[in-house]
Amino acid sequence: MAVSNYETQRPLRHVVRDLLAPELDIATKSADYFTGKRVLLRVDFNVPVDDATGIVTDSSRIKAVLPTIKLLLQRGSRLILASHFGRPEPKKQTRQQMAALYSLRPVAALLQEELGSGAFRGLAADCIGPDAEAAVGGLQPGQVRAVLLENTRFHAGDTANSQDFARALAALCDVFVNDAFGVVHRDQGSVTGITSFVPERYPGPLIRRELAELADRLYDPVRPLGVVLGGAKVADKIGVVAALVEVADVVAVGGRMAFTLLAATGVSVGSTQIEEDWLEPCRHMMSRAAERGTRLLLPSDVLWSSSLERPEHLDTTGVTPLTLDCCRYGVDIGPETMDTFRRELLTCRTIFWNGPMGKFEVPEFSAGTVAVARTLDEASQSGAVTIIGGGDSVAAVTAAGLSTHITHISTGGGASLELIEGKGMPGLRTLLRTESQEEQ
Q: What's the pLDDT score for residue 237?
A: 81
As a whole number of angstroms, the distance between CA 223 and CA 189 comes to: 39
Query: Is 85 marked as a binding-site residue?
Result: yes
Query: Is 393 marked as a binding-site residue?
Result: yes
Q: Name the active-site residue from 29, 167, 233, 433.
A: 233
pLDDT at 127 over 70: yes
Residue range 90-114: mean pLDDT, rounded:
97
Active site residue 231: no
Q: What's the pLDDT score for residue 419?
A: 85
Active site residue 61: yes
Residues above pLDDT 70, as percent of the chain: 95
As a whole number of angstroms, the distance between CA 126 and CA 249 comes to: 48
Query: Is 424 marked as a binding-site residue?
Result: no
Query: Is 237 marked as a binding-site residue?
Result: yes
Helix (H) or strand (E) holding 81: strand 78-82
Q: What's the pLDDT score for residue 173?
A: 98
Residue type for 180, please? A
**Cβ atoms 292, 246 nearer than 8 A:** yes
pLDDT at 148 over 60: yes
**Cβ atoms 350, 384 nearer than 8 A:** yes
Query: Is 105 marked as a binding-site residue?
Result: no
> How does residue 8 score in pLDDT terms, banded at 50, 70 and 90?
low
Query: Is 193 marked as a binding-site residue?
Result: no
- For the segment 381-417, what is each residue's pLDDT rounded down to a tens digit? 999 999 998 878 888 888 889 889 999 999 888 888 8
Active site residue 295: no
Residue range 254-262: mean pLDDT, rounded:
92
**Cβ atoms 107, 148 nearer than 8 A:** yes
Q: What's the pLDDT score for residue 439?
A: 45
pTM assigned to the model: 0.85
- For the segment 301-350, what is each residue's pLDDT rounded down to a tens digit? 998 888 888 777 777 777 655 455 667 788 999 999 999 999 999 999 99
Give buried/exposed letters for 149-160 (b at 16+ CB in 10 A, else e): bbbbbbbebbbb
Q: Name the active-site residue from 37, 38, 61, 217.
A: 61
> How does residue 216 score in pLDDT terms, banded at 50, 70 and 90?
confident
As a whole number of angstroms, the distance between CA 407 and CA 381 comes to: 10
- For the segment 13-53, what is each residue's pLDDT rounded down to a tens digit? 899 999 999 999 999 999 899 999 999 999 999 998 998 89
Query: Is 61 marked as a binding-site residue?
Result: yes
Q: Name the active-site residue from 231, 391, 413, 424.
A: 391
Neighbours of 318 (CB within 10 A): 12
Residue type for 341, please? F
Structural domains of the chain ordered from first start: 12-208 (3.40.50.1260), 221-421 (3.40.50.1260)
> How does residue 374 score in pLDDT terms, banded at 50, 70 and 90?
very high
Active site residue 129: no
Q: What's the pLDDT score for residue 325?
A: 64
Q: Name the active-site residue from 226, 255, 368, 414.
A: 414
- Residue 392 backbone phi and psi in degrees, to 5: -65, -45
Residue type for 3, please? V
Average pLDDT over all residues of the chain: 90
Q: What's the pLDDT score for residue 319?
A: 67
